[in-house]
Amino acid sequence: MHILIINAGSSSIKFQLILMPSEKVICSGMVERIGSNNSVLTYKSDKTNIKETKSILTHKNGLQNIVDILLDKTVGAIKNTNQIAAVGHRVVHGGKYFVGTTLITNEVKEKINELAPLAPLHNPHNLEGILIAEELFSEAKQIAIFDTAFHRTIPEIASKYAIPSTFYDKHGLQLYGFHGTSHKYVSEKAISYLNKDDSKIISIHLGNGCSATAIVEGKSIDHSLGFAPANGLIMGSRSGDIDHSIIFYLVNKLGYNLDDVNKLLTKESGMLGLTGYNDLRDIQLEAEKGNIECILALEMNAYRIKKYIGAYTAAMNGLDAIIFTAGIGENSQVLRKLVCSDMDYLDIRLDDKKNKIISNSLREINVNDSKIKILVIPTNEELEIAIQVFEKLS
Ligand code: ADP
């Protein structure tokens, strides 16, 4: 079964064509900078590796470009759009409605649209991708996979905020959680590696966005991002946890308007705000050279993660494994070492040599005799979407 995975963002569309159940990636790529004359189309398969700059002004035009290259006689992967059995769409916000993989109907589209105020930067584009794919792949089943779905198991004790309940009941102000597809994928890998269905796991996704999830018996029971993807860990340019009274101070004393505050906390804070660098590799290089701000920022970042590990170990009343995943989690031995140092009270003990091994597969990096496993597990959100779509249609 050919499953096309589409992740439509504000100015980009990423795609992967995956053959199931063999899990073979036939081709992948993306259209970036949609809306400009310098849009970039990338396309990679066994046969070719293409990067083209061209004018792609709309999402529809972007997806049409993807269809054209998929059908291309020399480098393409399919002969006819009918070969695509299903299109799996990443949708960021499923609100309270969606707990799992969902066949897209008119009602589902209405709900995705209704949830747009909760994810204004994502849901409208995700919906647009669905509408265009319905036209271009009219024979295919259209399926939505929601980032929030994995977290629908979080109980009220963790998902409610301590504000009057009417805001929860009437306005849906609660923790929804994000990165669900990634946390589900890596935690399932960990459970099967540990061979323990009732495992207590903390999954730590460290990319541009960062989050930690407490997972018991494969179910999310708490998570560090909240109502929006803003809370919790220190991210590339987002502050994570912050005393909300700072917002009032910025507005009332420093004359910020709310858009400025939002920009400050989501685009100009986090590691970027602390160091001037967004990419952790640059920060690590600077820290090595003795840049004090960069050294402190790395330590702050690790300290915040440690606190979540402690909190979630308490919440789960135990711990079997922690997982590091995504760009930073999979690659930064420096941050992993900082996070795992002085954690022996919890029996989290890193093996320095194993931590330094570079690999693309699941690996254990704790010392042999520690009860708590420290796992590095490469995430694969596209594959997880394909697996869920395939399961839904099988
Ligand atoms: P996204 O959230 O956009 O999917 P990724 O999961 O690709 O992000 O992670 C991007 C981050 O991974 C970047 O901040 C980059 O600094 C970091 N990263 C990638 N490779 C390395 C590396 N070898 N060492 C440290 N950090 C890395």
Phi-psi region of 385 (alpha: psi -120 to 50; beta: other; left: phi over 0): alpha
- Give the residue, 208 or 177, on which the prediction is more confident: 177
- 135 and 200 share one domain: no
CA of 280 to the centre of ligand 1 (A): 7
The question of whether 147 is a catalytic residue gets the answer yes
- Domain boundary, last residue among 119, 146, 173: 146
Residues 204 and 131 in one domain: no
The string of pLDDT tens digits covering residues 314-365 is 999 999 999 999 999 999 999 999 999 999 999 999 999 999 999 999 999 9
Residue 357: which domain range? 195-376
Q: Is residue 158 part of a domain?
A: no
| Burial call 27-59: b when 16+ CB within 10 Å, e when fewer | bbbbbbbbeeeebbbebebeeeeeeeeeebeeb
Tell me, yes or no, whether 314 lies in a domain.
yes
Residue 155 falls inside a structural domain: no
Q: Is residue 338 part of a domain?
A: yes
Ligand 1 nearest-atom number relative to CA 335 = 25
Q: Is 210 in the pocket of ligand 1 (CB under 6 A)?
A: no
pLDDT at 52 (0 to 100): 94
Let me know whether 123 and 219 are in one domain.
no
- Closest ligand 1 atom to 236 CA: 14
Number of domains in the chain: 2
Reported as a pLDDT band with limits 50, 70 and 90, residue 10 is confident
- pLDDT of 137: 95
Please report whether residue 330 resides in a domain.
Answer: yes
Q: Are 229 and 326 within one domain?
A: yes
Question: Could you tell me if 239 and 327 lie in one domain?
Answer: yes
Instruction: Say what the pLDDT of residue 20 is.
Output: 97
- Residue 169 CB contacts under 8 Å (≥ 6 apart), including other chains: none
| Alpha-carbon span 377 to 324, nearest angstrom | 6
Does the beta carbon of 206 lie inside 6 Å of ligand 1?
no
Tell me the Cα Rg of the chain: 21
Question: 205: domain CATH number?
Answer: 3.30.420.40
Domain boundary among 146, 175, 208: 146
Indicate the residue type of 345.
Answer: Y
pLDDT for position 234: 98
In this predicted model, what pLDDT tens digit does every residue of 285-326 receive, in sequence order?
999 999 999 999 999 999 999 999 999 999 999 999 999 999
| pLDDT score, position 161 | 98
Looking at residue 302, what is its pLDDT? 98
In a domain, 32, yes or no: yes
Task: Report the DSSP beta bridge partners of residue 216.
Answer: 200, 219
* Strand 102-103 versus strand 141-146 pairing type: antiparallel
Residue 152 lies in a domain: no
- What pLDDT is stored for residue 374 in this prediction? 98
In this structure, the residue with its CA closest to atom 25 of ligand 1 is: 332
Tell me, using a 6 A CB cutoff, whether residue 236 lines ligand 1.
Answer: yes
69 is a domain residue = yes
Of 113, 129, 146, the domain-final residue: 146
Residues 122 and 243 in one domain: no
> Residue 11 has what pLDDT?
87
10 lies in the same domain as 137: yes
The residue whose CB lies within 8 Å of the most ligand 1 atoms, and thus the one to mutate among 208, 284, 358, is 208
The pLDDT score that the predictor gives to residue 172 is: 93
Provide mean pLDDT across the span 1-14. Answer: 92
- Cβ of 79 closer than 6 Å to ligand 1, yes or no, is no
125 and 216 belong to one structural domain? no
Residue nearest (by alpha carbon) to ligand 1 atom 23: 331
Contact between 13 and 25 (Cβ < 8 Å)? no
Residues 141 and 219 in one domain: no
pTM score of the predicted model: 0.94
**Does the beta carbon of 207 lie inside 6 Å of ligand 1?**
yes
Residues 141 and 200 in one domain: no
How confident is the model at residue 54, as a pLDDT? 94
pLDDT confidence of 208, banded at 50, 70, 90? confident
Q: Please indicate, yes or no, whether residues 76 and 17 belong to a single structural domain of this protein.
A: yes
Mean pLDDT of the chain: 96
Tell me the three-class secondary structure of 105-123, residue by residue.
Answer: CHHHHHHHHHCHHHCCCCH
Cis? peptide before 164, omega within 30° of 0: no
Catalytic residue, chosen from 147, 169, 198, 241, is: 147
pLDDT value at position 119?
87
109 and 228 part of one domain: no
Distance 117 CA to ligand 1 centre (A): 28
User: 329 CB less than 6 Å from ligand 1?
Assistant: no
CA of 326 to the centre of ligand 1 (A): 7
* Beta carbon of 331 within 6 Å of any ligand 1 atom: yes
